[in-house]
Every structure is written in C-alpha cells, then in structure tokens.
DNA sequence: CAGTGGTCTAGACCACTGA
DNA sequence: CAGTGGTCTAGACCACTGA
C-alpha cells in the first residue's frame, strides 16, 4: 500500500490524525516543511494535502496554515450519527436507558462476535434511546475489549456506548446495512409498540485502521427516524 | 462556478458525459489534445482528469487512453439502484407488473408534485417489482414531463420507469430518505403481506443539472431487501 | 514501438491573512 | 509585510499496452 510518494505522505498524515496523535485544531507542518521532510517538490506535497482537505480531515487557510479538522462533518454522505446530539439539536430531550450490560466471551460460531473478539472478551450493551420520553430505538451493541479495553470501566447507565465511542475512539471505516424488521417479542414492549410492528433496522460495523471496534443493531420505531443521503457525480468541494 | 482552469476543464467534460453527449465506452480527447484545446500544461489537464477518474465518470488506461465509464459503479457510497439488474445479478428472475399509469396535472398544494411539474404535467406510474415470482417492492413514481417529455410515449407494461430513466436520462444529483412504514391498505395485498406489516421505505428524488426529474417512493417487504453503505476517511481509489 | 497516462521536479505568480 | 496555500508551467522519466 501507498506505493507513490504523494500517497505515502497522505497516509502518513492521515494515520497521525486518525490515531489521535494530532488533535483537532492542531497545526500540521507547512508545505515547505513537508518538502524538506520528504525531500520532494511542492506539487507532490500539495497533491497529498489536497486529498486530505477534500476528505475533510484537515482545514487549510492561507497564511494560517493547515490544521486538523474538527471531528466528522456533513461532508460524509452517510455519517455515524450521534443520536444524543441529533435529538438535542431538534430541541427534544434525549435520554438513554440501560437494559443490560455484561462482559463475556464471544459465542462460538457466531461470526460477528468472533470477528470482534479474536482473543479476548466482548462488552455487550442493550439499551433504549428516547426523545421527549417517547421510545425511539432499541439497540444491541457489541464492543471489542481487545480494541477498546478502557471501555470496560464504563457503566453506560446514563450515556449510550455509541456517544462514548464517538468521543473517545475515532473510527476510520464504517459499514451500514439498512432494512426493515417486524418488532420482536424481546424488545417490542421496550419501544411501546406491538410485536410485529414495523421498525427501521440499522446494522453498523465500524473499524479503526482496519481493526474491528464495534457492531450495533438499532431498531427504530417506524416513522420516528429517517436516514438521509445526498449525492452527486463529483464530490463537492469542502 | 468553475473559476479555475482545471475546474473548467473538469466541468466541461463532466457536462458532456452527464448530458449523454458522449456515451459509455466512447473516447475522450487525450491529455495532449486537451492541452492544445485549453492552451495549458499537462499537469492542469491531468488534475481535471484525475478528479473525473476518482469520481468514476471515466476510465483511464495507458496507451488506450481515456473513455467514458459504464453507467454508475460501486464507487458511489449510495447509488440509484437498478432493481432489474440487481435481481438478475443475484440469479433470480425479475419481473415488473404495472398497476396504473396516467398523465395528469399536479395536485395543488402538494409540494412534491408542484416542484416536479412547475408548468406542465406529470407522469404517474404505480407498479410492483418481483423476484422469482415473489413480490419485492411496490412503487409509486412521479416523472416531470417538462424535464422528460419523451417518456410520455412509454407504456411501462413490462419495464419499470426507473430502468428506462437510468438508460435514457443521466441523473446528476440524488437524495434518499430511508425509513420504515407499516404496509398500507392500498398496497399490502399487492405485496402479499398483511396490512401493517413492516416495510422498508425508500423515497428518492433525482435531478439532472439542478432540474428535478423524478420522485419515487418504494416499499420493500421487510427482510427481502437491504441498503448497504460503506465509507471511510479518504475516498477509495478506483 | 509509439502513444498514453502516472508521477515528479523546480520553478513561478498570486491572493489571502495573521503577526 | 511575510508566510501560507492555490494554481499553473514546461519540462522529465517511466510503465504500460495496443497497433
């Protein structure tokens, strides 16, 4: 991977940002400095930085230089949403209610669980998100304790594990699977809907630099939540 | 818009592709020719073409040159899917059954209809997609006859309007709204499911160069269809 | 083998903007 | 006003691959 020089420069800096070694707002070496570091021309450095800029990982301003961008922006076609933030932004009161939290070995033969915990254990958290006192979604989450050992200390009685993860563990890749499901006996009552009632189901897996971090399955009460995606032929300039 | 030279080159060629003036497989002028056309250096041409290549609009091969890419690829995070093609690719038999087709004025006060048909009329098509004889989705579609007058000649008894549009009218922007819905009385029987049964609902609006082309609402039987989106920090190379 | 694109260089002029 | 990034030039060497 990264066979050309501008790709190597890009992935070096990208890795530093994604690993959290540099924080949002922090300055990145100027093109002049990078030219010296990599012993190359300015065009080559510029090409690498332009890609990072278009991807929204850095912000560039003349004279001020290049800084690490604030976490995730609307630039993503589909984002990993923070439900707590989204609901607050709508002016509603967000609440997370913990149903169950436990740490255990992965179930043998269960693909997702074994992929997440190759050697160690899993954190399993079940809870309900609500807006203005009305249940919005039931979620079941698995977190790899290999990847995020420090999460074992968290109780998640007030805050959803998703919000905690967004704050502490930067993700680099994500996959959404979106479908519809009839409400199951196990959680229909938690959402205050009849068994078999329509739900929007989002299954999301996230990775950090290729390492599988977490898998979550969220069931939203029909009509109370929508996913929106806009897209065009050429990525929009930032 | 397009204030810099490489942006102008890119958008010129992009417009030619999106308007259908050049078809998939057709050759695009080489960098040498474009240098002469725009009286600029090769780096400038190359920058424009690299963007088009990353966006998946063209395919470049040494010696063979640059050609317009086949319609939409997996490069899109979320695509406008051609159900007929997707189902055939899975090895199933696809069928489209027309329920209703009519041309009429937009309903006054109906936002979507008035936005689509500002001066003229609308084509309204209702139908059912099925795979191996099993109903998959019910769809209601509105098409602007201002934007696509030639579609008035099509009957859509065998082919879905979506497939026809993908072949004839290149879209440039799209918006998805994805949610869950209980099956309505009007179409539950068409999908062979009980009223209130869970459905995945996709509402999609598409534009061509800012002009609103079509709006479709599709209801998929729960469990028979999934939308998948993968995304990372830097767009993947093509 | 000749034309194409992929990459890179060493320079240039410019607009912007914070010290 | 000085440092930064945005853009562009005119050249170069190379790998690839179809005529």
The crossing angle, in degrees rounded to 10, of helices B31-38 and B5-18 is 120
The band of A76, judged by pLDDT with boundaries at 50, 70 and 90, is: very low
Residue A79's pLDDT is 60
Phi-psi region of A213 (alpha: psi -120 to 50; beta: other; left: phi over 0): alpha
Q: Does A2 touch chain B (CB under 8 A)?
A: no
Put simply, the answer to whether B175 touches A233 (Cβ < 8 Å) is no
For residue B73, pLDDT beyond 50: no
Of A20-34, A80-94, B146-160, B180-194, which gets the smallest average pLDDT?
Answer: A80-94
The pTM score is 0.74
Q: Does A174 touch chain B (CB under 8 A)?
A: yes
Nearest nucleotide by C1' position to the B3 CA atom: D7
Tell me the two tokens of residue B198.
Answer: 């869970």
Put simply, the answer to whether B173 touches A232 (Cβ < 8 Å) is yes
Q: Which residues of chain B neighbour A181 with C-beta distances below 8 Å?
A: 180, 198, 222-223
Tell me the two tokens of residue B126.
Answer: 């209702």
Phi and psi for A16 in degrees, rounded to 5? Answer: -65, -40
Q: Estimate in Å the CA A223 to C1' C9 gap, whole number.
A: 58
Q: What mean pLDDT, rounded, does chain B reach? A: 86
- Residues lying close to strand D (Cβ under 7 A), chosen from 17-76 of chain A, are 28, 30-32, 42-43, 46, 49-50, 53, 60-66
Residues 6 or more apart whose Cβ sits within 8 Å of residue A63: none
Q: Where are the beta strands (DSSP E) in B148-237?
A: 173-182, 198-208, 211-221, 227-231
A194, A219 contact by CB (below 8 A): no
Residue A228's pLDDT is 73
Residue A71's pLDDT is 63
Q: Where are the beta strands (DSSP E) in A29-121?
A: 58-61, 65-68, 94-104
Q: Estimate in Å the CA B5 to C1' D8 gap, whole number.
A: 9
In the predicted model, what is the mean pLDDT of residues B94-104? 95
Of B206, B224, B209, B215, nearest to B78 by C-alpha is: B206
In the predicted model, what is the mean pLDDT of residues A137-152? 94
For residue B128, pLDDT beyond 80: yes
Of A42-46, A80-84, B4-8, which gets the smallest average pLDDT?
Answer: A80-84
Residue A77's pLDDT is 39
The band of A192, judged by pLDDT with boundaries at 50, 70 and 90, is: very high
- Helix (H) / strand (E) element for B98: namely strand B94-104
Of B137, B142, B124, nearest to B87 by C-alpha is: B137
Q: What is the pLDDT of residues B41-66, one digit of tens each?
A: 999 999 999 999 888 889 999 999 99
Size (chain B), residues: 238
Put simply, the answer to whether B178 touches A197 (Cβ < 8 Å) is no
Q: What is the pLDDT of residues A38-48, one digit of tens each?
A: 999 999 999 99
Q: Does B212 touch chain A (CB under 8 A)?
A: no
Residue B61's pLDDT is 93
Q: What mean pLDDT, rounded, does chain A reach? A: 87
B61 touches strand D (CB under 7 A): yes
Q: Estimate in Å the CA B116 to C1' D13 gap, whole number.
A: 54
Can you tell me whether residue A41 is helix, strand or coil? coil
**Chain A nearest-CA residue for B208:** A232
**Tokens 């100027």 — which residue?**
A30
The band of B235, judged by pLDDT with boundaries at 50, 70 and 90, is: low
What gap in Å lies between CA B66 and CA B227, rounded to an integer?
32
Can you tell me whether residue A28 is helix, strand or coil? strand
């Amino acid at each position: 991977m990264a066979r050309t020089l501008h790709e190597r420069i890009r992935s070096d800096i990208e890795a530093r940002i994604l690993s959290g070694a540099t924080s949002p707002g922090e300055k990145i070496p100027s093109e002049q400095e990078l030219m010296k570091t990599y012993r190359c021309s300015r065009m080559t450095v510029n090409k690498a930085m332009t890609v990072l800029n278009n991807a929204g990982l850095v912000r560039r301003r003349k004279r001020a230089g290049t800084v690490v961008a604030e976490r995730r922006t609307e630039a993503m076609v589909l984002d990993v949403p923070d439900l707590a933030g989204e609901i607050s932004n709508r002016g509603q009161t967000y609440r997370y209610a913990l149903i169950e939290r436990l740490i255990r070995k992965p179930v043998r033969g269960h693909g997702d669980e074994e992929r997440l915990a190759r050697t160690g254990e899993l954190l399993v958290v079940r809870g309900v998100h609500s807006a203005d006192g009305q249940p919005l979604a039931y979620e079941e989450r698995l977190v790899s304790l290999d990847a995020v050992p420090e999460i074992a200390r968290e109780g998640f009685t007030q805050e959803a594990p998703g919000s905690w993860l967004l704050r502490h563990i930067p993700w680099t890749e994500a996959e959404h699977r979106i479908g519809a499901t009839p409400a199951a006996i196990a959680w229909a009552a938690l959402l205050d809907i009849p068994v078999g009632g329509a739900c929007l189901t989002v299954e999301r897996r996230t990775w950090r630099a290729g390492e599988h971090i977490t898998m979550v399955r969220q069931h939203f009460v029909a009509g109370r939540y929508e996913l929106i995606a806009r897209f065009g032929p050429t990525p929009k300039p930032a």
